[in-house]
Amino acid sequence: MWTNRSAKQWTFIAFSSSAEGVPVRIQVINPNTSEAMTHKIGLAAQAVARSGTQIIACSPADGPVSIEGHFDEAIATLGVLEEVRKGREQQVDAHIIACFGDPGLLAAREYASAPVIGIAEAAFHMASLISTRFAVVTTLTRTRIIAEHLLQRYGFSELCTSVRCIDLPVLALEESGPELIELMAEQARIARDQEGAGAIVLGCGGMADLARQLSEAIGLPVIDGVAAAVKLAESLVELGLSTSKHGDLADPIGKPFKGRFAYLSR
């Protein structure tokens, strides 16, 4: 039986989002070499960041202009690790890998001293907090298996109803418009109406600016991995948590490297 009595309540006010008001510095790495996409991802990250957070958006000097398969991903991983090295030298507080394949994520966690978050893993976690079932909407059919492997690795396969594809190349996302939103909405509605998905995860960093439009079109929560990763990164930094250096994510074993990787010798 309910009563009208209320429990005592306390209100707490946080005066600073980080220790002594020092800004949180997050490096957001676009693993491909598209400057337009890097700019888009940086804007999406800054849009959700707290006022005390600095977003440093960057991309490798070398590598594929888009990542649309296993080969592209393998090449891009080297560029990701180079950007992590630069971020480590700049003493950033966290790194984000802003490609839905999370290329080089575990290697980056070995190499970095700050937390490293992949946008796919971040998006899956966020989706699982707001719905018992979610679907992924991504670009090319050939990349579906990459998302499915990540779902298995991260333990979210049972929560994901499907990985659905709009069959557009990644760089086509730079010319977003009503037609693109409708392509995505068509796949999202199938997941909603036929599979029971209660939320949609955007399966590409290049979709970072489309979450709100898609959500309005289909009436479901839509999770952009870039935004999710920024909020998780801020939380980890403010909690004083970073990658455990016990076990397989300990710093790489010192050894000689030859040729173009000689600078990694230690």
Identify the pLDDT of residue 67: 98
Provide the domain count of the chain.
2
Give the pairing type, strands 94-97 and 134-138. Answer: unpaired
Residue 15 lies in a domain: no
Given a contact cutoff of 8 angstroms between Cβ atoms, the answer to whether 61 and 75 are in contact is: no
Count of all residues that appear for the chain in the document: 266
Residue 251 lies in a domain: no
- Over residues 216-232, mean pLDDT: 99
- Rounded alpha-carbon distances, angstroms, from residue 24 to 45, 46, 55, 89, 225: 13, 12, 9, 16, 19
pLDDT tier, 16 (very low <50, low <70, confident <90, very high otherwise): very low
**Angle at which helices 225-239 and 35-48 pack, to 10 degrees?**
50
The domain of 153 spans 120-225
Collapsing DSSP states into helix, strand and coil, what is residue 55?
strand
Q: What span, in angstroms and rounded, lies between the C-alpha atoms of 99 and 93?
A: 19
Residue 257 lies in a domain: no
Q: Identify the burial level of 225 via C-beta atoms within 10 angstroms of its C-beta, where 0-12 means exposed, 13-18 middle and 19 or more buried.
A: buried
What is this structure's pTM? 0.93
Residue 82 CA, chain-centre distance (Å), reads: 18
Which phi and psi angles does 138 have, rounded to 5°?
-130, -165
- Over residues 43-72, mean pLDDT: 97
Handedness of CA 226, 231, 237, 240 (dihedral sign): negative
Q: What span, in angstroms and rounded, lies between the C-alpha atoms of 157 and 188?
A: 18
Q: For residue 208, what are the β-bridge partners? A: none
Same domain, 71 and 153: no
Residue 262 lies in a domain: no
Domain at 173, CATH number: 3.40.50.12500
Could you read off the pLDDT of 159-181 as tens digits, one per residue? 999 999 999 999 999 877 899 99
Residue 27: both structure tokens together: 């490096």
Residue with tokens 């598209």: 34
Residue 29 lies in a domain: yes
Look over the chain and give the mean of its residue pLDDT values, rounded to a whole number: 94
Given a contact cutoff of 8 angstroms between Cβ atoms, the answer to whether 36 and 30 are in contact is: no
**Angle at which helices 211-218 and 178-195 pack, to 10 degrees?**
50
Residue 266 lies in a domain: no
Which phi and psi angles does 116 have, rounded to 5°?
-125, 130
Could you read off the pLDDT of 64-121 as tens digits, one per residue? 999 999 999 999 999 999 999 999 999 999 999 999 999 999 999 999 999 999 999 9
Residue 206 lies in a domain: yes
Residue with tokens 């429990």: 7
Residue 55 has pLDDT above 80, yes or no: yes
